[in-house]
């Protein structure tokens, strides 16, 4: 077994990533690729928890902007995360990786209710734990759910998988010459209004000294290389 830098990690996956080139829904090829990446890390003996978004199916903030009541829109977004969690669970278990889905909203026929000690016990047994339903409360994003769950289970780092290589000073799609940061303090993200995670999630990480790594999850092998200690993406810490 190859040595790894981290013992327990939380991986944050955006729902949009699951949509692939089609831009909505779940693309099976992307799901299979994600399962391979997660499986390769699980086989190292690393304990992995996952928080998954629902933006490929429904975005509460976008719906509320068109006139839908915000709390209702957010609850609909939480249900979308359950669809993604079940899809990822199916792909992982198809590859022989034991998983558990825990939901912040009670859905006994589909998933366990979220219990911190039970989640930790699953991780200790080397099961991949997928957290669905966000925090269970409206007005909080899945980024905030990721920061909260990471602290609750004692994760050593949050790894946010995105479509780009790290955090840039401007959108690299519209600004091809934008500079990527190798390291960055949390305070700079807040001061520069960089769109990495929402301010609540960033503040939670900063106040609790929980490192964040933003990287390209679409690049095969990146997740495993980071876990093994390679410097990939952007490392965000509380240090200035």
Question: DSSP 3-state helix, strand, coil percentages of the chain (rounded to 5)?
Answer: 40, 20, 40
- Name the residue with tokens 């000294």: 209
d(CA 92, CA 89): 5
The pLDDT of residue 60 is 66
Contacts for 55 with CB less than 8 Å, ≥ 6 apart: 14, 15, 16, 77, 80
The reported pLDDT for the residue numbered 2 is: 59
pLDDT of residue 161: 95
Q: 145 phi and psi, to 5 degrees?
A: -60, -40
pTM (2 d.p.)? 0.93
Confidence (pLDDT) at 94: 96
Which CATH class, in words, describes the domain spanning 8-237?
A: alpha beta
**79 - beta bridge partners?**
none
Structural domain spans, the chain = 8-237
What is the chain's length? 240
Provide the phi-psi class of 133: left if phi over 0, else alpha when psi is between -120 and 50, else beta: left
Residue 69 burial (10 A CB sphere; 0-12, 13-18, 19+): exposed
Q: What is the chain's pLDDT, residue by residue, as a tens digit (240 residues)?
A: 457 899 999 999 999 999 988 888 999 999 999 999 999 999 999 999 999 999 899 876 677 777 889 999 999 999 999 999 999 999 999 999 999 999 999 999 999 999 999 999 999 999 999 999 999 999 999 999 999 999 999 999 999 999 899 999 888 888 889 999 999 999 999 998 888 899 999 999 999 999 999 999 999 999 999 999 999 999 999 875
* C-alpha closest to that of 91 among 46, 24, 11, 31: 31
Write down the H helix ranges in the chain.
15-19, 28-42, 60-65, 70-94, 116-124, 142-153, 186-192, 199-207, 222-227
pLDDT number for residue 53: 93
């Amino acid at each position: 077994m190859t040595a790894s830098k981290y013992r327990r990690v939380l991986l944050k996956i955006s729902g949009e990533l699951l949509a692939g080139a089609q831009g909505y829904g779940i693309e099976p090829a992307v799901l299979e690729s994600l399962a391979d990446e997660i499986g390769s890390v699980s086989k190292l003996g690393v304990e992995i928890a996952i928080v998954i978004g629902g933006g490929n199916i429904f975005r509460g903030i976008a719906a509320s902007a068109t006139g839908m009541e915000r709390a209702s829109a957010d609850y609909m977004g939480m249900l979308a995360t359950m669809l993604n969690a079940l899809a990822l669970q199916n792909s992982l278990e198809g590859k022989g990786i034991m998983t558990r889905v825990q939901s912040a909203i009670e859905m006994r026929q589909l998933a366990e209710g979220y219990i911190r000690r039970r989640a930790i016990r699953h991780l200790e047994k080397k099961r991949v734990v997928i957290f669905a339903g966000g925090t269970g409360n409206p007005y909080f994003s899945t980024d905030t759910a990721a920061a909260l769950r990471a602290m609750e289970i004692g994760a050593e780092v949050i790894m946010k998988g995105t479509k780009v290589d790290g955090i840039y000073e401007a959108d690299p799609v519209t600004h091809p010459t934008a500079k990527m940061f190798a390291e960055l303090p949390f305070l700079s993200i807040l001061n520069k209004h960089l769109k990495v995670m929402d301010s609540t999630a960033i503040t939670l990480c900063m106040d609790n000294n929980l490192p964040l790594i933003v990287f390209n999850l679409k690049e095969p092998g990146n997740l495993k290389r980071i876990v093994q200690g390679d410097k990939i993406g952007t490392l965000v810490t509380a240090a200035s």
